[in-house]
Structures are given as C-alpha cells and as structure tokens.
C-alpha cells in the first residue's frame, strides 16, 4: 500500500468516480477510471481491487472453435476461484467481429477502439452472450479478465485473474478461426494440454491449379503435429467415421476423417496453448477435380491430452472450386 501513497489522491478520485458511475455494472478498458488494456496487462482490475492477479482464479471461455464468416456464435464466459461466493464480473475484448449483449452484459468499445463486453450486475459468475464473426476469414483472438468477487460490495478481498491455464498471465488469447465462406464445419475437437482445444481453420478455398493452407492453433509448443487430408468422413477402410477414440485411451477425442494424406510439422510459438502449424496443400491443374470434397483434421502429439497421447482438432470439409 505504501508504494501507492503518492497517487492516493488520484486513486481516491478514481474510486469516487467509479462508485458514482456504478462500477458494479461493468468495466471497460480506459473508461470510468478503469486503466487501459485490462485484459492484456497490469494494473488491470488491480488498480482498485487486490493489486495482483490470483492463481486460484479460473476464467473459462467456451464457443464454437471454427466458424463461417458473419456467423452468430453463442459464447459463455465463467469465472471461478476456491471460494463458494457467487458474485463476479468480467471484461473481454476481441480483435475482430462484434459482441452481442445478453440481459446481464453490455458492449462498448475501449478508448483504443477495441470491441469489448462486460457484466452489468455482479450477481453471477457465468455469462452467456454471442459474437458476430467478421466477414473476412482468418484467426480472431480474444482476451479476458474476470473477478471472482466476495459480494461485500468492496473492492478488496476479491480474487481476479486473466483467461488461460494460469490466471496470473495477462493477454493469453482465446482463439476462434473464421473460415472462407465455402468451408463447412464437420465436428468438434477435444481438449489437449493445459485445457486448450485445438482449432483448425481454412482461410482460402481449394481451387484447381492452386495452393491453399490449413492452419492449426491452440497446440502445445515444439511438438509434432499431423495435418490429415481425408477423401472420406464416413469410412476409413472398414472403420466407420466418426470414430470415438475412448476405447484406446483417447478420452473425448474423435477421428473424423480418413487418413489418406498426412503432412507432419513441428509446432512453433510460445506459452501454454501458443503452438501453431500451417500446412500448404496443392490441387493439380485438372478441372475434373472440381466439386471433389476434401476433409481435414489436425492430430497432435500431446501426452497431457489423454493416455492415447494425441489431441484432435475440429474437422472441416472443403470443396475444390
């Protein structure tokens, strides 16, 4: 607290302002005395609440992983800690697209112009809302911070932290891929190391006499990963697809495409869930291939995912143009 004395006047003014503006009703970066960039670094909620993020906090986000351009995507954000209190709040920001508020949330732009959503009362620890994907394909990243409050309407004593496997690390991205319009989602992936679910996306449709990429995210760093192209998503030899892998220790993982062509890469990146891999594919100059359906899934060596030792992404189906 001593280190704060020089700025105590500012802090008192900030607290007064936030009380007057009903801080309980939401927090947007850079507005109502809230610091800039609350989802990506200090001081964040700690400028008024406990100074440091707490490792007992867990901010979780769930939604579809790989979506169509312009899609309306239901999302859920929850915050938990090691107490039985039931109050809380959050702020989440997105690199693209727009949030659509529900009854207990509201949206705004931060002072830097970033799209954001927050709580409008502190009565819950989970919020359902939606997000409209941008029309431009590509990776979208979201960052979030949550406060697991003790409900005493005071700023001290609450546990707060950032989204990710370690709530004390700011700015860990939640990733959603926006696919090219003709790409079809064909089933979910399963959770791998540190709670990250691999995301597979395609930003450009395959076309005769051209190359395009599949992109995989949310993977462990420095591990072999296999991009699978299958000509079928109903049979792999005699085996019917999708094939649940529970029986061989694969947990919730499901093989969704036949193992016809595979390309191996080593994931690059930093931090938990920060690994990614891009795989380039080629369609020969043969117009009879137009209309052929190609099925994709990413399989990654991940000893923490399950006893089988692999995680699996969502599956996608592309049609050669």
Residue-wise DSSP of 25-68: G---TTSTTPPTTTTTSSSGGGGTS-SS--TT-EEEEEE-SEE-
Q: Does 149 bind ligand HEC (CB under 6 A)?
A: yes
Q: Which two tokens stand for residue 157?
A: 């004593």
Q: Does 91 bind ligand HEC (CB under 6 A)?
A: yes
Residues 27, 105: Cα–Cα separation, whole Å: 11
Q: Does 10 bind ligand HEC (CB under 6 A)?
A: no
Q: Does 215 bind ligand HEC (CB under 6 A)?
A: no
Region near ligand HEC per CB under 6 A, out of 139-147, 225-233, 266-274, 286-294: 139-147
Q: Does 117 bind ligand HEC (CB under 6 A)?
A: no
45 — alpha (psi -120 to 50), left (phi > 0) or beta? alpha
Q: Does 153 bind ligand HEC (CB under 6 A)?
A: yes
User: Minimal CA–CA distance to 58: which of 175, 148, 172?
Assistant: 148
- Give the 3-state secondary structure of residue 227: strand
Query: How many chain residues interact with ligand HEC (CB under 6 A)?
Result: 34
**Residue from the set 37, 49, 127, 198 that interacts with ligand HEC by CB under 6 A:** 49
**Residue from the set 37, 89, 164, 274 that interacts with ligand HEC by CB under 6 A:** 89
Residues whose CB falls within 8 Å of the CB of residue 26, separated by 6 or more in sequence, listed in order: 89, 91, 105, 106, 118, 119, 120
**Residue from the set 57, 58, 90, 199 that interacts with ligand HEC by CB under 6 A:** 90
Q: Does 24 bind ligand HEC (CB under 6 A)?
A: yes
Residues 68, 70: Cα–Cα separation, whole Å: 6
Q: State the nearest-atom distance from the C-beta of 226 to ligand HEC, in Å.
A: 39
- Give the 3-state secondary structure of residue 96: coil
Q: Which residues of the shown chain bind ligand HEC in the complex (CB under 6 A)?
A: 14-15, 18-19, 23-24, 27, 33-35, 38, 44-45, 47-49, 87-91, 122, 145-147, 149-155, 158, 160
């Amino acid at each position: 607290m001593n280190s704060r004395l020089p700025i105590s006047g500012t802090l008192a003014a900030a607290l007064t302002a936030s009380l007057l503006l009903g801080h309980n009703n939401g927090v947007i970066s850079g507005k109502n005395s809230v610091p800039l960039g609350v989802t990506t670094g200090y001081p964040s909620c700690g400028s008024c609440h406990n100074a440091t993020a707490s490792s007992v906090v867990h901010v979780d986000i769930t939604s579809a992983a790989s979506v169509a351009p312009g899609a309306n995507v239901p999302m859920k954000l929850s915050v938990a800690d090691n107490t039985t209190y039931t109050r809380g709040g959050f702020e989440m920001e997105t690199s693209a697209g727009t949030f659509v508020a529900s009854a207990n949330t509201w949206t705004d732009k931060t002072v830097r112009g970033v799209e954001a959503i927050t709580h409008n009362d502190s009565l819950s620890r989970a919020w359902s809302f939606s997000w409209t994907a941008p029309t431009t394909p590509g990776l979208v990243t979201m960052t979030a911070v949550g406060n697991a409050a003790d409900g005493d309407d005071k700023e001290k004593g609450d546990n707060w932290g950032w989204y990710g496997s370690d709530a004390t690390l700011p700015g860990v991205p939640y990733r959603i891929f926006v696919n090219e319009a003709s790409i079809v989602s064909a089933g979910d992936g399963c959770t791998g190391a540190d709670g990250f679910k691999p995301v597979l996306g395609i930003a450009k449709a395959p076309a005769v006499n051209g190359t395009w990429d599949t992109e995989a995210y949310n993977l462990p760093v420095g591990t072999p990963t296999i991009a699978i192209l299958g000509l079928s998503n109903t049979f792999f030899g005699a085996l019917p697809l999708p094939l649940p892998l529970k029986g061989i220790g694969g947990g919730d993982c499901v093989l969704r495409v036949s193992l016809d062509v595979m390309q191996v890469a080593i994931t690059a990146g930093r931090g938990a869930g920060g690994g990614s891999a891009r795989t380039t594919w080629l369609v020969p100059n043969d117009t009879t291939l137009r209309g052929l359906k190609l099925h994709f899934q990413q399989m990654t060596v991940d000893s923490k995912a399950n006893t089988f030792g692999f995680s699996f992404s969502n599956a996608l189906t592309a049609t050669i143009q």
